[in-house]
Chains A and B, each alone.
Chain A
Amino acid sequence: MLTGKMVRWAMRSLGSGGTALPGLVVERLHPDAARQLASRLGDTALVTGTNGKTTTAAMLASILRADGRDPVIHNRSGSNLLRGVTAALVDAASPLGLPPARVPAVLEADEAALHSIAQAAPPTVAVFTNLMRDQLDRYGEIESIARRWTETLAHIPPDAALALNVDDPLVASLELGWAGRVVRFGIEDDAVPAAPDGEISDAVWDPTTQDDFQYSRRYFAQLGRWHTRSGRSRPTPGVFAEQISSNEGGMSFRLSVPAGQADVALSADGLYSVYNAIAAAAGAVALGISIDPIVRGLEAYEAAFGRQEDLSIDGRRVRLLLGKNPSGMNQALRTLQRPGMRHHLLVLLNDGIADGTDVSWIWDVDWESQAPYCRSLTVGGRRAADMALRLEYAGLPAPSGPPQVDVGRALRQAFDAVQPDEQLIILPTYTAMLDVRQRLGRMGATKLWDAAA
């Protein structure tokens, strides 16, 4: 384990912000390292799913701290392959490399890496947020991820709990293959607006019964109150949000857990943030945490790394809203669509491995709905030309200049349209987010590195 410590030290000395490389080195030298390092952990929560896992994991870690459990081992910054978990464990190991003992861990797991991570670090609770189309060039089709998850359940300790989003029929169906404890979470609020017609959904029908999923209310994607003609229906959640409202600073809602109710004021915006909060609350309930620390932990949560992260630069405000797949981007856009709002937008589309090399997904995003809420538009990133065409066809105003492959040029072009006291909204894919965040740092943006590893 000293190897990892030394790599970590060398990288820090060189000023690199890389989070997973020490894990990768250790993984190569000691293939069994993660399992050994995780062997004496305390409560271990794994958080997986397509959207929301970084935020959910950060919220759950915040809850654990509010519950007086400090330190908490946590692979931040979305470094969510086995090597990222290994790196977080290396970081927490003693100077001589002894595994951390009785320390709780909140580990974000890439949906395709869940299997290896669950075997290395057997969970006390596994939280499943949702399952949606994402980076189909890497993951394959949604069905294959669902199949792998089901296979993984056989390797999770039988005394562990699953925390399942019952509003997502694909996640709720995991219960069919699990004999152990389940904490169900969902939204119970008839006032939440329904998804627009035609918004993309990744579960139209139920492979177990062949029936179509029907909804008394669909919130977004395939999330909602679903049922089928043959009698399957959304299980009743034990952890849920109701009386949801959106306000200037974020979302407010009433949280119910089996042992009580409380009001929560989240600093994060959008219905997807409420889902992240109740996912974290369900994970906490599974770990036996009571409602007071849950609420304190959720309210103490600050945006994680590019996900609704607010920065300030020369009197201008910047908000980073990561969007990397149709449902995630649709939800990010919803937070910008309030009456009277008109935004300066910088949309950055890269096609790196971590973004998905296929940019077809931008055609499945409801950009059309954003047209009335756009004041100025700049388009950048390696596939800026594709995005410029997509946004033209969506009816957004003409961009302030040509598509800029270089993110720095795109950023300058966007800022030209933003007056002091105004806000620039940046909608980047993953690698574009890393790039633009680093550039903003060099330009002197503040409140930037809080969440960095």
Chain B
Amino acid sequence: MSHRDQNRASGRSTLPSYLVSEPRRRPDPGTRELTRGLGWFSVGLGLTEVVCADALARWLGMPRVAPVIRAYGVRELVQGAGILGSHDPTPWVSARVAGDALDIATVLPGLDPQNSRKDNVLIALVALVGVTAVDVICARSLSEAPLAPSDKVRRDYRRRSGFPRRPEAMRGAARDFKPPPDIIGPEAMRPWTLTNA
């Protein structure tokens, strides 16, 4: 089912979407900057996790989680691309919050007293909690951004035609204009039916 069909099915609009625009969230510039920053952070972290998974696992004293870290790196790369490339990054940032929870759950067992590198695990956990906080703030700001245009704030441009009559009546009003041949292209390159009309 296409997006348009889904809209129709959900009853959000009875008109085709080329006649009606659904309101979209418009976050403030600060949130947009933060989102962009998180996107690039995701890409950077993802690359690091993919390339240095073994070294990271050893640093944490958890060598067996190296494949998991590498998979998380791929996840980070996908999320980063989604955040940077999509018109609405809200779901991608929310996915980061869920990913943070997974990261914390994966690292927590490293606090085992038998792990000689549990200090490193603690550092990683502090960093993860910090990043999670930023992700949560960003996700909330995005999901709470005002819907624009809403009926309340939207300016009405429905009468901004610039024409003295309705547009349909103005169709071809400038047909008296003779397009210069050098601008519309050489005669020999124009459609045969036009040059021979």
Q: Decide whether A and B assemble into one complex.
A: no
Give the A-binding residues of B (Cβ under 8 A). none
